[in-house]
Structure 1
């Protein structure tokens, strides 16, 4: 058995013609893979953003209820580790620079071998004492380090995501004819900055002449006009089309080796991105609208089994863990690790119409969200967003350490029932400091059948009551710390 996971960071479902025929982005190779795959129509994140999403995938567990951005924990039982212990060779090629930063420890090391392509975002790659300067005028964000890195990019082939796909092709060629492997191909594009070569920018022309490729994580301001937002979307589409071209080279190699007959190929993302929808750009600071949380999923089974068919059941990225173990014939139960994900194989084989009734998802310390596929409920925290604790054995988070020079109260104990060792507990006080337009302190209920854009919250006390009860049940099933029920004012529903 062979399996390939292709993940494009920030690949917005609503920007793909596969899901929305009127979408602008040209992605012939994603479409090409879809023709040979099962297309999942209701696939959601679990935890976000980048590192929490990856920990979900590697462990099969929802982790945003217990901590935010962080490394693979020493007690985590991961998919690559289990496969390695069962004779499956594991390799990852990626240009995701957060793996190399504080708070991204331990992910690549789960694999037997790994290859990292330099230069994305703020990767400390090109070293220049001389300031490269910022384009003027500009909108959004400009980081000095990326301005240094981009001096190495002259054609699309020079850029990190194209080099990532090229490296994956090389690996397949070097290992042609081999069996029993799991290859992860993880491209950072089309994550911001939306920086593509001229060939792809020319596909999406406009008259906007201000440099704008890295949006702020905030509400649109007076300078971010409709013309500016359209330009930003064009930049995003160009970056997505560039990544798609180079994914096509990977598919070409799969063609050449005849791997469609005996290989499971999965394509998905970690989350989406706001590109002016709901009057905001970015992520992390807003309610978990579908533009960020409903993501693409394609699953090619050997011999094009059920190719081109659609599956409407609710699925999540935590399901990758049990699905791939089942494909390789590995019994995860012997590892005594609780798994939140559900294998897709009953859906793929046509043995079941659904594997879950609800999906829960979100960001640590923000609203906890639930959907049944039609109704989506964003449950906001009460006043003060407290009590809120983070649990971990590794005191790192996004580019910094925790506990030593911060105001959190840190204790240690057997706090997590699924964890065999003591962990740290950080007591956090996190008042809602966001401006009112972000609405994170207000619960929201949407009917996505009648309102697919989630533009008009509805009021329905009976429905909200039902979803609160179900949310409490789902939190229990996903090992939520006890104080989360108090933070979200859900005690009476337990």
Structure 2
């Protein structure tokens, strides 16, 4: 038996014709896969953004209630480790997500039999050079809007052909590996393209599919900042076209993998899963990017397509989450959850795929650490805000004290003067492994979009939406009895997902 798991970073559901997007990108290969697949219509991210979402997928458990961005924990049982230990399954990763090789991304490749990370995406400082006086400053051109770094500029100067782009290398190498090993049995292939994550950089002939001469004559922006939208309507439209162009390039090379599946009729014994980690704002609600705003559908309602032997294509409206990937793959390979040291939050989707069940859960829980906590049953979305501006009590629990590009120490994310407030003990209800407990108010990790010291003005409202009637989430529902019902369902879901006790107090529950 074989499984191929494909993750295209920041793949926007609303840009896919498979999901009826009103302004779709050209994605003939995703459409091709959709025709073979069960397309899940109510699939949700759990923990966001990038590394928290990957930990959800690899461990089958939500983690955003316990910590922000950070390493895999030593007590985590990853999907790749379980497969190899329990069934002698070869696990192979191809990725160009550079966060796997920097602080905050430790241990995610652990357990893979073999893995490859192609460098050079976004601001990955693989080729950065000095200036005459030392470290080259990040000085954007005059009038520039968005995110700028010398590392990103240097990386882009290295892409001379389409096959120099890191995501193209990732898909190409995965397709080559599959061609070379199509006759093998018992393998799990993880294919992870960083595209279509920003910056929206690709050869011009892809942009020419969407932007004709005369459509736009402004600066060629490619990388929005994580902030309210600073771009004009014309510039915003240009960025959307650039995002679609990069999505089309990613789709083209997804097709190289599907070609191998077709050529050797691997569909007969291979499960193929396509999804993303999260979505992205491109002007909706007045925002660009992710992380700092409320957990709107643009980021958390994500695509999921699964093609499996003996499973008829179709659509599924049941509420599902990224944490369901691990138990689904485990059951597909005949591995019982009884082999694990702790229970999973995820549920196998095989009963849905085989039309043996109509639902695997009542609702989904999702969000960013230290911000609003959201719940949905597919009809309503409910965002519960912290009860006050202090955003307290709130703790980070970890045995691996790193965060994005930093450590919790050495006057980095945590100052030496605050060391005395750090505790260590068996604080988590679901494992006896000792962890550090950091008061959240001593952590300042230099990423404004993900800060949680105090309640952000972008996250101060408790909101309820009927997404069947108002999918864009523009008209909050005002109904006290319905809000009380949603609060009770959220509370029950928090309990089912092992929420630390202080989260109830922080949220006024």
Q: Same fold (TM over 0.5)?
A: yes
- Counterpart of 1:109 in 2: which secondary structure? coil
1:151-203, Cα deviation, whole Å (9 max, x unpaired): 11012211011100011011112213001000000000000111111110111
Aligned counterparts of 1:155 and 1:433: Cα–Cα separation in 2: 46
Unaligned runs of 5+ in 1: none
- Counterpart of 1:207 in 2: which secondary structure? coil
In the alignment, structure 1 residue 317 sits paired with structure 2 residue 318: no
Structure 1 92/355 Cα, relative in aligned 2: closer, same or farther at 3 Å?
Answer: same
Partner of 2:347: 342
Aligned-residue offset at 1:432: 3.7
Alignment of 1:187-336 (within 5 A): 187-205=193-211, 206-221=215-230, 224-303=231-310, 305-307=311-313, 309-336=314-341
The number of residues matched between the two structures is 483
- Counterpart of 2:436 in 1: which secondary structure? strand
1:428-472, Cα deviation, whole Å (9 max, x unpaired): 1244464x4x2x011111010110111111111111101111111
Aligned counterparts of 2:217 and 2:454: Cα–Cα separation in 1: 36
The two structures have a TM-score, normalised by structure 2, of 0.93
Unaligned runs of 5+ in 2: 442-451
Partner of 2:166: 160
Aligned counterparts of 1:250 and 1:134: Cα–Cα separation in 2: 38
Would you say the 8 A contact 2:391–2:455 is kept in 1? no
In the alignment, structure 1 residue 41 sits paired with structure 2 residue 41: yes
Aligned-residue offset at 1:134: 4.5
Of the candidates 462, 467, 476, which is equivalent to residue 486 of structure 2? 467
Partner of 1:378: 383
Aligned counterparts of 1:151 and 1:136: Cα–Cα separation in 2: 20
For the aligned residue pairs, the C-alpha RMSD in angstroms reads 1.4
The two structures have a TM-score, normalised by structure 1, of 0.95
Query: After TM superposition, what 4+ stretches of structure 1 lie above 3 angstroms from structure 2?
Result: 130-137, 430-434
Partner of 2:31: 31
Partner of 1:428: 440
Aligned counterparts of 1:90 and 1:136: Cα–Cα separation in 2: 47
Of the candidates 346, 354, 360, which is equivalent to residue 365 of structure 2? 360
Aligned counterparts of 1:43 and 1:128: Cα–Cα separation in 2: 43
Partner of 2:448: none
Aligned counterparts of 1:421 and 1:102: Cα–Cα separation in 2: 22
1:14-58, Cα deviation, whole Å (9 max, x unpaired): 111111242231111100000011100000000000000000011
Partner of 1:410: 422
Would you say the 8 A contact 1:138–1:211 is kept in 2? no
Partner of 2:59: 59
Partner of 2:444: none
